[in-house]
Amino acid sequence: MNAPAQLHNLGQSLWLDNITRDLLDSGTLARYIAELSVTGLTSNPTIYDKAIGGSAAYDAAVRSAASRGLSAEATFFELALEDLTRAADLFRPVHDRTAGVDGFVSLEVSPLLAYDAAATAAEAARLHAAGGRPNLFIKIPGTPEGLPAIEDSIANGVPVNVTLLFSPAQYAACMDAYTRGVERRVAAGLPPYVASVASFFVSRWDAAIASRVPAELKNGLGLAIGAKAYADYRAYFASDRWGRLLNEGARPQRLLFASTGTKDPAASDVLYISGLAAPHTVNTMPEDTLLHFADHGTVPGALSADPAGADAALAAYEAVGIDIDALGHELQVKGAQAFVDSWNSLMGRIETKAGQVAAG
């Protein structure tokens, strides 16, 4: 049994943090599903900026969109939805087999809307309807302004992947927003289950503090913050509040570990896979990380739901001057800006390619 299958059997879903048309056309994604236990997929503006810029696979579709006078943004969503609905269909057997728990793909709303809750919720509903697939998540950032959009989207039955969560405080606010959305559905007499995951970013913590901590604390904060998120997740959804919702037929929002590619070349290339094995969760990983894990990964054991170990580990970082809440806020702001930068690059790339293919 390969390492991805072992992780899957432990109870963690393996998702691929990548999408390209070549990945679909070549049958590679189908092979990952069959051989590497991949049961879902995530995308973001950075991934699509690289995919469209690095391949001729999108030229014909860009040419078609340009001939119809579509804007760069409209062109992107047409291309992305074509890819993601194809991927969603590949994962549909998983989605059906798990009764809607697994087998999802994710599409992000424009990051330019990150601080406009009403516009984000409206766009999330539009994109989900345009996709026409029950296993399509719409990604909404877990910024303070994004939280009302998350609550409203869940209340309106739109499956949501909450992105850009870094700190325990941000994650707690996300779980509350999801729960309020579910409670509104129960109060309205609507089916209470609307699928959702909370994407908690881990590797960027270690990159941010690499020059600020002693050698023995390097490349450990991401694992500690991930373990803390897992303990918080298990405790939150075991509460009396959630006991009542479970009785109504609701299901917890699953914790998803994101940003799990190792940034430090001196560290293990599967650091955030082996170290964050946990049942009832998802780990979405870059393609090269998935292949490294399949080649030489191990599953040493599952994370503990007891917060004591994670709290002690985080205390060691606080003792050397790392302010978890302040750094989490900084990482979320920088992460949101990075997606805006990628989005703007993506729009420029589409406009350039539209001109090139039209001239060709």
Active-site residue (options: 50, 139, 228, 334): 139
Q: How many CB atoms lie within 10 A of CB 25?
A: 11
How many Å is the maximal CA-CA distance in the chain? 63
Give the torsion sign (CA, 98, 99, 103, 106).
negative
Contact assessment for residue 227 and residue 200, using Cβ atoms and an 8 Å cutoff = no
Contacts of 69 (CB under 8 A, 6+ apart): none
Please confirm, yes or no, whether 139 is among the known catalytic residues.
yes
Contact assessment for residue 36 and residue 99, using Cβ atoms and an 8 Å cutoff = no
Select from 209, 327, 203 the least CA-distant residue to 267.
203
CA–CA gap between residue 100 and residue 261 (Å, rounded)? 27
CA–CA gap between residue 130 and residue 206 (Å, rounded)? 38
Token look-up 């790392």 returns 322
Task: Tell me how long the chain is.
Answer: 360
| Cα–Cα distance list, 339 to 117, 137, 276, 289, 333 (Å) | 17, 18, 25, 21, 10
* Active site residues per annotation: 139
